[in-house]
Amino acid sequence: MSPNAPTGPDAPNRDPSTLRSQRWFAPDSLRGFGHRSRLKGMGIDDEDYRDRPVVAILNTWSDLNTCHSHFRNRADEVRRGILQAGGFPVEVPVMSLGEMMMKPTTMLYRNLLAMEVEEVLRCHPIDSAVLMGGCDKTVPAMLMGALSADIPSIFLPAGPMLKARWKDVTLGSGSDAWKYWDERSAGNLCDGDWKAIENCIARSAGTCMTMGTASTMACVAEAMGFTLPGAACTPAVLAEHSRLAVQTGRRAVDMAWESLRPSQIVTPESIDNAIRTDMTIGGSTNAIVHILAIAGRACVPLTLDRFDELSRSTPMLGDLRPSGQFLMEDFYNAGGLAALLQRLSHLLNLDCLTVSGHTLGQQIEAAEVIDDAVIRPLENPVSPAGGTCVLRGNLAPDGCVIKSVAADPRLIKHCGPAVVFDDYAAMKARIDDPDLQVTADSVLVLRSAGALGAPGMPEWGMLPIPKKLLQQGVRDMVRISDARMSGTSYGTCVLHVSPESFAGGPLALVRDGDLIEIDIDARRIHWHVADEEIARRRAAWRAPEAKFSRGYGQMYSAHVQGAQQGCDFDFLTGRSPGEEPDIF
């Protein structure tokens, strides 16, 4: 479809026989009779859906997803938009992945939700879908599933929480929890203050209001063309968010008529736009894993090197926590993502089609920066290059990543002796031991924290600073792991070391006292151990036992790919083969 083609009620193609749902409802067959008669049993008449696109609202609402607590209301608002535009709305619950309640990590289940979204879309009479997600993994999971199903889909992000306020301090979710936990551990914060922070740090419905994974992925989705303009930054509880929900519902109906599919939206060019967006907002390192997986579903070849390449030439303009100062509500008030992208437009592929039916260029054309402190001018960026770097070396032959803008400048180039923890439990047991041989110059190493080893590659990468160092005033150290890190985390944390230790990556062979050097400007990580010694240690290494003997975990262990491939299952990359057969 041309981006300038008419949309809405005047769109030329309104031929109901072209709708996918007609394969269920139109035939004068026993099966067609069954579909129609059972809808009647729900009080739904022929008139309710005759000649109308069936628009699914895929809702990740759950009482255990704290970030999506407004989704019941929003689903009703989406429904209103679908009805207004002449569609037939059907709400379909799909698995909810709430970061705060799931153990060991939602990442273990991202691909399960992606599979569910794909299969739910494929097997039902659905002409288009509104994907309602927000909390971290729900965003990539829903986009991945929709891409593989390749049924017209539009994403509605949950939107960030309002800013939190404690005494005269503006609190950011995640980031300030870590920060004040450290202060409490150092003996600088009383129990009453800690409780007061607990009482106010999550102020409303919505996702973390720092530039954590949820906000990063919402921005990535918008820049990639998967949302209406302005969707990524609109706070969850504003009236604007309700209106966005209604508009998204309306638009989903037109998308069904236009047959505007995810495969038209996600292209090598729109993936580049997504990566540049991640870099200019100082986004979460998790976005790298997710964008790699999304690209895999879209059959777009992508490696870690592309992130580093684009990072080097993308100024960081968003001054947002945890890399900067402001929160999502400030970003919204400053003009939001569209205004930021307008400033970056010389680096973007403006011809990419978006779900609005317009190009990205058209979508951001009128956007205006209201506050230069939050969205910096090109002449005064937060950082002249992007927020995330890819390092390589003998400790990470397949690469690792670091959010350089969230690192202490003192540690950008650093060499120190390793203090190694075999797994998370060992780290927990020893990190605060007064006898632990550790100084501010040590390099903390955590292994068995990757996709297979943990399992699920949890957000353990911001290893805690040992208590005795906290008490000495140390607030950052070099930390290295095959884990991920929360988007709201910060510090000199080398993450996603690949291959992971559980699979026999070099990290498995590191010992206490080995010297490890990082040089972020040179994109290098080096383990100062002779090759012969490495070979000796490798010969003595034994692969650990598999973590699961049954169930989803076993399937996960058998098929999950490494972080450098986005941790998708090997059998899920690419698209569904096509329409399911009509057997009746």
Residues engaged in binding ligand FES (CB under 6 A): 67, 99-100, 135-136, 207-208, 212, 214
Based on CB atoms, which residue is closest to Mg ion, 136 or 272?
136
| Alpha-carbon distances of 534 from 480, 506, 541, rounded to whole Å | 18, 8, 10
- Whichever of 67 and 395 has its CB closer to ligand FES, that residue is 67
Rounded Cα distance between 70 and 61, Å, is: 8
Task: Single out the residue of 213, 217, 87, 245 nearest to residue 143, CA to CA.
Answer: 217
Number of H helices, E strands in the chain: 21, 14
Instruction: Spell out the residues 6+ positions from residue 449 whose beta carbon is closer than 8 angstroms to its own.
Output: 423, 424, 457, 458, 460, 461, 481, 482, 483, 500, 501
Q: How far apart are the first and last CA of the chain?
A: 33
User: CB of residue 213 vs Mg ion: minimum separation in angstroms?
Assistant: 4
Q: Which DSSP letter does residue 9 get?
A: G
Smaller CB separation from Mg ion, 136 or 278: 136
- Interaction of residue 212 with Mg ion, rule CB under 5 A: yes
Cβ neighbours of residue 176 under 8 Å, at least 6 residues apart? 164, 169, 197, 201
Q: Is the distance from CB of 294 to CB of 223 less than 8 angstroms? A: no
The overall longest dimension of the chain from CA atoms, in Å, is 79
Compute the least distance from the CB of residue 144 to Mg ion, in Å: 18
The residue (of 135 and 143) whose beta carbon lies closer to ligand FES is 135
Partner in contact with 292, chosen from Mg ion, ligand FES, none, beta carbon below 5 to 8 Å by kind: none
Minimum separation from the CB atom of position 75 to ligand FES (A): 18
N residues, the chain = 584
Phi, psi of 57 (to 5 degrees): -105, 105
Residue 535 partner contact from Mg ion, ligand FES, none using kind-dependent CB cut-offs of 5 to 8 Å: none
Cβ neighbours of residue 314 closer than 8 Å, sequence gap 6 or more: 276, 279, 280, 344, 347, 385, 386
Site string for Mg ion, 94-133 (x = CB under 5 A): -----x----------------------------------
Minimum gap (Å) between residue 359 Cβ and Mg ion: 31
Residue closer to ligand FES, measured from CB, 136 or 254: 136
Handedness of CA 316, 320, 325, 330 (dihedral sign): positive
Beta carbon of residue 338, minimum distance to ligand FES (angstroms, whole number): 22
Number of residues that bind Mg ion (CB under 5 A): 5
Instruction: Retrieve residue 160's tokens.
Output: 């960030």
Taking the least distance from each CB to ligand FES, the nearer of 214 and 245 is: 214
Shortest separation between residue 100's beta carbon and ligand FES, angstroms: 5
User: CA-to-CA distance for 5 and 260, rounded, in angstroms?
Assistant: 11
Check residue 213 for interaction with Mg ion (CB under 5 A).
Answer: yes
Closest separation between CB of residue 486 and ligand FES, Å?
8
CB-nearer residue toward ligand FES: 220 or 444: 220
Could you say which of Mg ion, ligand FES, none residue 207 binds, taking C-beta under 5 to 8 angstroms by partner kind?
ligand FES
Using the rule CB under 5 A, give the single segment among 140-148, 210-218, 398-406, 505-513 that binds Mg ion.
Answer: 210-218
Of residues 135 and 495, the one with the C-beta less far from ligand FES: 135
Residue type, 502: F
Stretch that binds Mg ion, among 175-183, 211-219, 251-259, 426-434 (CB under 5 A): 211-219
486 scored as a contact of Mg ion (CB under 5 A): yes
Q: Which residue in 136, 329, 330, 423 binds Mg ion (CB under 5 A)? A: 136
Q: Which is nearer to ligand FES, 100 or 299 (CB)?
A: 100
Q: Which of 352, 354, 277, 346 is nearest to 310 (CA)?
A: 277
Minimum distance from CB of 208 to Mg ion (Å)?
A: 6
At closest approach, how far in Å is the CB of 96 from ligand FES? Answer: 10
Encoding tokens for residue 10? 């005047």
Binding site for Mg ion (CB under 5 A): 99, 136, 212-213, 486
